[in-house]
């Protein structure tokens, strides 16, 4: 399981310097010409679609500018319901601290349309539908947004290859509907050999970066390059959220029924250990 984006230059060999071709032309990797759209699709696959399904236990630490911390623990399950880049389902179950224990979050991801999202609040015994307009609000009080959990629809943005370096593609992504999001555009640094997104920065209308995501640690799990530590930071307030992933597993055979409203109230205990 992965969030999308860090400094991986020490983990991967440097690729050859590639020229940016004018007029939206592609770039050459291992003798093959790739368009910007193909780079974006490969990046999306690495960030969200590796394996048929996956599971991870996650420790979340939220720190303010003064260094005061809050902690959360949860398990995340993910199942691809179509080809890479297609529909997916996500299930997140919180166990700590006590005030969020048994809280559950469910996503039916629908590329090209509006995702369906539900949140179960055990204290109220309430299943709450998360409106599409709320997808770019804080996920459980963290620096991550609801949309960050399952990824942003590629069709929602216009993608541009701004430049390449010895190691990275630098992509500029501009929303097609500027009124639906709080950012004017975001940049993403993608490792040229692995297509792992290693960093993302979000910019306001004045061109100032105000939000930054970095992958801090990458490990091989079952042959998949996996981000096992990542951080999102609000550059204005100094509040940051660190995620540490443990017991990561892929291709475990998750059934479709796990990702239904029934399991918001009755979690699949055998999958959450």
What distance in Å separates the CA atoms of residue 139 and residue 161, rounded to the nearest whole number?
A: 30
| Phi and psi based region of residue 272 (left: phi greater than 0; alpha: psi -120 to 50; beta: remaining) | alpha
Going 78 to 81 to 84 to 85, the CA torsion angle's sign is negative
What is residue 31's predicted lDDT score, i.e. its pLDDT?
47
What is residue 32's predicted lDDT score, i.e. its pLDDT?
58
Domain ranges of the chain: 32-271
pLDDT tens figures, 228-240: 999 999 999 999 9
What distance in Å separates the CA atoms of residue 234 and residue 238, rounded to the nearest whole number?
A: 5
What is residue 273's predicted lDDT score, i.e. its pLDDT?
83
pTM value is 0.86
Residues 6 or more apart whose CB falls under 8 angstroms from that of 119 comprise 103, 104, 105, 106, 127, 128, 130
Q: What's the CATH fold of domain 32-271? A: outer membrane lipoprotein receptor (LolB), chain A (2.50.20)
Spans of the chain, pLDDT less than 50: 1-28, 31
What is residue 22's predicted lDDT score, i.e. its pLDDT?
23
């Amino acid at each position: 399981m992965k969030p999308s984006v860090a400094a991986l230059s020490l983990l991967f060999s440097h690729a050859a310097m590639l020229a940016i071709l004018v007029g939206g032309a592609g770039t050459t990797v291992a003798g093959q010409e790739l368009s910007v759209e193909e780079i974006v699709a490969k990046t999306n696959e690495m960030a969200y679609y590796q394996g048929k399904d996956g599971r991870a236990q996650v420790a979340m630490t939220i720190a303010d500018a003064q260094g005061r911390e809050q902690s959360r623990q949860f398990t995340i399950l993910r199942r691809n319901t179509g080809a890479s880049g297609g529909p997916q389902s996500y299930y997140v179950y919180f166990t700590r601290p006590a005030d969020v224990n048994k809280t559950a979050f469910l996503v039916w991801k629908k590329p090209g349309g509006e995702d369906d999202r539900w949140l179960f609040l055990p204290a109220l015994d309430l299943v709450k539908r998360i409106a599409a307009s709320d997808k770019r609000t804080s996920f459980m009080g963290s620096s991550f947004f609801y949309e960050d959990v399952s990824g942003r629809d590629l069709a929602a943005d216009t993608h541009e290859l701004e430049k390449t370096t010895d190691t990275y593609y630098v992509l500029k992504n501009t929303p097609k509907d500027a009124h639906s999001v709080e950012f004017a555009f975001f940049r993403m640094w993608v490792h040229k050999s692995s297509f792992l997104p290693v960093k993302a920065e979000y910019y306001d209308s004045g061109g100032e970066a105000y939000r930054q995501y970095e992958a801090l640690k990458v490990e091989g799990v079952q042959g998949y390059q996996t981000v096992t530590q990542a951080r999102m930071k609000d550059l204005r307030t100094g509040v940051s959220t660190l995620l540490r992933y443990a017991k990561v597993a892929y291709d475990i055979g998750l059934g479709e029924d796990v990702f239904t409203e029934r399991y918001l109230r009755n979690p699949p205990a055998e999958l959450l250990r």
